[in-house]
């Protein structure tokens, strides 16, 4: 009878331990998902400076534009067309 009681106590301790471990894993996963969502929002929320090609009118990010004497272009070909 003593052993049966001991087995019940050990089983209960095991189930409690397992439950807490799963709960902790879930919390960690939620925290990670939250961090990723925040990072995504931060990146999406950043405004990107846009510009317009002086030759064809294409809108493109300023960082990808080709700088000319008269303004921005979508590529070196259009800079050449417009400025020569
Ligand atoms: Zn262009």
Which is more confident, 80 or 47?
A: 80
pLDDT of residue 30: 93
DSSP conformational letter for 69 = S
* Mean model confidence pLDDT for the chain: 93
List, for residues 42-71, the tens digit of each pLDDT value: 888 888 899 999 999 999 999 999 999 999
Distance (angstroms) between ligand 1 centre and the Cα of 75 equals 6
pTM for the model:
0.48
| Distance in Å, CA 64 to ligand 1 centroid | 12
Distances (CA, A) of 13 to 6, 9, 10, 16, 25: 11, 6, 5, 5, 18
Q: Whole-angstrom Cα distance, residue 6 to residue 54?
A: 83
Task: Using the predicted structure, report yes or no on whether residue 17 has a pLDDT greater than 90.
Answer: yes
CA of 68 to the centre of ligand 1 (A): 12
Report CA(83)–ligand 1 centroid distance (Å).
12
């Amino acid at each position: 009878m003593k052993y049966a009681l001991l087995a019940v106590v050990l089983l209960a301790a095991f189930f409690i331990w397992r439950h807490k471990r799963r709960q902790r894993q879930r919390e960690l996963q939620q925290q990670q998902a939250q961090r990723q969502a925040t990072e995504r929002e931060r990146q999406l929320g950043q405004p990107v400076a846009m510009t317009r090609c002086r030759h064809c009118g294409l809108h493109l990010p300023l960082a990808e534009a080709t700088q000319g004497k008269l303004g921005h272009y979508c590529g070196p070909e259009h800079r050449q067309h417009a400025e020569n």
